[in-house]
Structure 1
Amino acid sequence: MIETTSFYHEKLYKALSNRKHIDTPQLISVTTKLDSVDSLGFFQAGKVYQGERVYWTSADTMFTLVGVGSAYTFEAEQDRFFSTRQMWNDVLAEAIIDNPYRIPGTGPVALGGFSFDPLKEENGTWKDFPNSKVLIPMYLLTEWRDETYLTINMMIHPDDNEDELFGHVTEEYQSLLAGTFIHDDDVTVTNQEEVRPEEFKEIVAKATDHIKSNRLGKVVLAREMIVSFSDDRKASSVIRQLKEEQTQSYIFAFESGDSCFVGATPERLVKVEDNELLSTCLAGTVPRGNTPKEDVALGEALIHDEKNLQEHDFVVQMIKKAVTGCCENVHVPNSPVLYPLRNLQHLYTPVSGTLKEGVSLLEVVEKLHPTPALGGYPREDSLQFIRDYEPFHRGWYASPVGWFDSYQNGEFAVAIRSALLKKDQAILFSGCGVVEDSDPDEEYKETAVKFLPMIHALGGRE
């Protein structure tokens, strides 16, 4: 049942009043069901909270989260997965939660991400994004199947005035719900530049030398592209384009400071719902064909290509091992299938299981990251190669980004097909898996194709 505004206000005020005898900060979380809302309008209307907005749409487009403002933010440099989990549990232990629906992604929900490699020295590009940052949005819009929910989360302190806070919050959330999307059509691309492409090829060649000498099994290397605009590019407009063009991908945007990390990734890292876990092995890539016949031929070539099958199997075996340590009833198909997207097609193998008692989603994320599809194999050797030779800082690129709620549901994707928006500039990232018989020119071409989803969304040229 959809609650009336007056009834929701009554629930909010009651929750605020219930904590006035508590002498420590406490999370208050109140959820209601709504008529449909313009999710991008909600995101845009929260511009007063610039730097504290998040957007997430799952690959099946049946689930969207939009967060504005921060009731509480968790950051951790050491033991970042454990520390985040501990801080989250501490906040929940004292929380007052009014959520009769218990739909995934409602009530207290944390959204954020982790850097690819906390040991890599930061060069300033990612100064707004720490090694881990997860926030509980103050205003959270949840679209689940055909239903819409609003959760207001507030961290209340002993000296807060309930009446003043209630008045401010009710006025603000109604303004967010009334927001409508406005596209920045007048912003155009003024320059598009690949960053050191020849150096990338040299590093690929160096990697194959390491592999041939048995110092590595596989390493994933990435490169950058810089796109400049005539004015500041709005994250909401990029999200809109990605939603229209990349319908089989996770669409994400995480603001921090003056930057926004945005992308459309096809790659799930792990999902948990009702204690059932699903992970995805997505490695091995070719372009889509220009005709149906060419498309089928490219797919058939991919599914029988030894180099891509080897690369894919590295990922499958590692994920299977990690999931087996966390789950019971683990299932892995015997061979991959094709997973077609707008610009690319991949080899795909799902891995599923039932989460063991006491195991959290963040523990699984920690075990899985980085998979051989994003780092390489063996893990530590490939990571060290990337630290030593890749000439830029990945930041949150190729990292786990996602969400989790207080009911043990959640999902993390791998942040590929992505860009870092910094006002009138965007830095794009693209990578490829390097194995023994990799050719530098072919790997360069593969990364060029993988830039396309973000180039299209930003209005650039191929």
Structure 2
Amino acid sequence: MTAPLLSHAIKSLTDKLTSFTLQPHSDPIIQLSVTVSAIPVIAWLAAQSTYPRIYWKGRDTEEEVAAIGCCKDFFFGDDVDDLEMSAEYQKQRALTNNQDVRYYGGVAFDRKNESWPEFGKARFILPRIELRRSGNEFKLLVNLNFTENSFEEEIAYALHAIASLDKPKPLAPPNKVALMGRSDKPDRYRWTELVNQVTHPKFIKETPKVVLSRQTQLEINEQVDPWTLLACWQGRNPNSFQFGFQFSPESAFISCTPERLYRRRQRELFTEALAGTTVRGINQEQDKALAQELLDDTKNSHENQLVRQQIVDVLNPLSHYVGAEEFPTVLKLSHIQHLHRSIRAELKAGVNDFQLIQALHPTPAVGGLPKEPAMNFIRQQEGYVRGWYAGACGYFNKHESEFAVAIRSARIEPGRINLFAGAGIVTGSEADKEWSELENKLTTILSILTEL
């Protein structure tokens, strides 16, 4: 059976809404859906004029989501309380048993530090409308939230959102960005100072790893469409998580990141240790040799093992079983390759996503070890606000969830693009080599911007 065209799907969804009645004992959050013919998901999203605009594509799943509008917004700004967040999370999970109802959002790298306006320390959205692709099947969804509006008001809001959908059109053609200036925080001199502080024998004895990062701010004199940029980026790194959040026209955060924080299905949890980096080779033979050097490198292997052990340690109290690969493999991206270990856990009954985020985030791959002294050093010395960079972004519902670590990411603002990269500083780290690693990690996104 052929899926209906978008116009027919919209009419069908409208008809469902106008004839919808709330049954006794119904969940207060309802989702209606219709199938629709194939539409380029990210192009559909870019064509919409409704905010927020959210995009999500998993690393190793045949699923892609574009979401617009909002029928529930959880925003935690300057004063964030973990107990309050946990209570809100548990309350929201109880409102529906529909495993297709999802809340998309993120948690900042550091909830004790200031964060970006609009994004906050944490923010999660139950969208009004979603376009979802699962393999070759496409669905148009509308979410209804009867907890805060009357039945008539909520139906009217949903009908208005559907009527306001803009027709899909091709993505704006890429245009080369003229870079007017660049500044780095910390700059190279300060970076060297920080690496030397962390690798000092007295410091590193107590804190064996600190992940230092850098914000590279590019001044531009033209507008950059975040969705065109993300589409180009995902073309270069298809085996990554790809996502974006645009809460208003002024600011967008996009990421094309290789690192999973975790994926949960009921009580089964999948996570990983991703740490240790080298470049790709110019041919297959050199690429293989570089991968082997990475596997044999004592500093990188030590760094990956530290991350693996920390994840296992924090999961043990929450799990009946935790298993981790003993030896790392190599995960290859377009310009770099990483050491990678898979970790699987069977969670204890009652363990929820908020507990998992508290335990796992920030991982030692983006923060350090032990967590608190490493975080304190970053907080006091790094010199800029990470915000959602290296934060946890993804979705949750009652039965499953998935979060990625936003390490390859960009924040787009009027007149500037902010790029981020980090490096794990451990015994044996050298400031110049780690600075070069930061440059390697920005190669893909910089090449896209300058080639557009």
**TM-score normalised by the chain length of structure 1:** 0.88
Instruction: Give the match for residue 116 of structure 1.
Output: 109
Query: Cα deviation per residue 1:7-59 (whole Å; 9 max; x = unaligned)?
Result: 543432344x428999xx9534222332222211221122232xx11111111
Say if 1:220 and 1:376, in contact at 8 Å, map to a contact too: yes
Instruction: Give the match for residue 179 of structure 2.
Output: 190
CA, structure 1 residues 440+162, in 2 after alignment: closer, same or farther (shift >3 Å)? closer
CA, structure 1 residues 81+237, in 2 after alignment: closer, same or farther (shift >3 Å)? farther
Query: Cα deviation per residue 1:151-185 (whole Å; 9 max; x = unaligned)?
Result: 2113341284467445423323xx35x41232243
Instruction: Give the match for residue 75 of structure 2.
Output: 75
Following TM superposition, the consecutive aligned residue runs of length 4 or more in structure 1 with deviations greater than 6 angstroms are: 19-22
Provide the aligned length of Structure 1 versus Structure 2.
441
Instruction: Give the match for residue 53 of structure 1.
Output: 53
Query: Cα deviation per residue 1:54-87 (whole Å; 9 max; x = unaligned)?
Result: 1111112511121101111112356655544432
Query: Cα deviation per residue 1:90-118 (whole Å; 9 max; x = unaligned)?
Result: 345455x8x6xx5xxx3x21011111112
1:179 and 2:171 correspond: no
Q: Distance in 2 between matches of 1:162 and 1:417?
A: 38
Shift of 1:197: 2.0
Shift of 1:381: 0.7
Say if 1:26 and 1:91, in contact at 8 Å, map to a contact too: no
Instruction: Give the match for residue 199 of structure 1.
Output: 190
Say if 2:131 and 2:141, in contact at 8 Å, map to a contact too: yes
Task: Identify which range, 111-120 or 143-152, moves more after superposition.
Answer: 143-152
**DSSP 3-state at the match of 2:427:** coil
For 1:140-219, list aligned pairs within 5 A. Answer: 140-156=130-146, 157-158=149-150, 160-161=152-153, 164-165=156-157, 167-172=159-164, 175-176=165-166, 178-186=167-175, 188-195=177-184, 196-209=187-200, 214-219=205-210
Q: Distance in 1 between matches of 2:85 and 2:343?
A: 26
Instruction: Give the match for residue 443 of structure 1.
Output: 434
CA, structure 1 residues 164+399, in 2 after alignment: closer, same or farther (shift >3 Å)? closer
Instruction: Give the match for residue 62 of structure 1.
Output: 62
CA, structure 1 residues 36+405, in 2 after alignment: closer, same or farther (shift >3 Å)? farther
Structure 2 residue runs of 5 or longer lacking an equivalent are none
Q: Supply the AA of the counterpart residue of 1:362.
A: F
Structure 1 residue runs of 5 or longer lacking an equivalent are none
Instruction: Give the match for residue 18 of structure 2.
Output: 13
Q: Distance in 2 between matches of 1:211 and 1:453?
A: 37
**DSSP 3-state at the match of 2:389:** coil
Instruction: Give the match for residue 416 of structure 2.
Output: 425
When the two chains are superposed, the root-mean-square deviation of aligned CA atoms in Å is 2.6
Say if 1:227 and 1:460, in contact at 8 Å, map to a contact too: no
Q: Distance in 1 between matches of 2:341 and 2:63?
A: 22
Say if 1:288 and 1:343, in contact at 8 Å, map to a contact too: yes
Identical aligned residues as a percent: 27
**DSSP 3-state at the match of 1:247:** coil
Q: Supply the AA of the counterpart residue of 1:265.
A: T
Query: Cα deviation per residue 1:119-164 (whole Å; 9 max; x = unaligned)?
Result: 2245xxx223200101111111221222222221133412844674
CA, structure 1 residues 89+160, in 2 after alignment: closer, same or farther (shift >3 Å)? farther
Shift of 1:210: 5.8
Say if 1:138 and 1:154, in contact at 8 Å, map to a contact too: yes
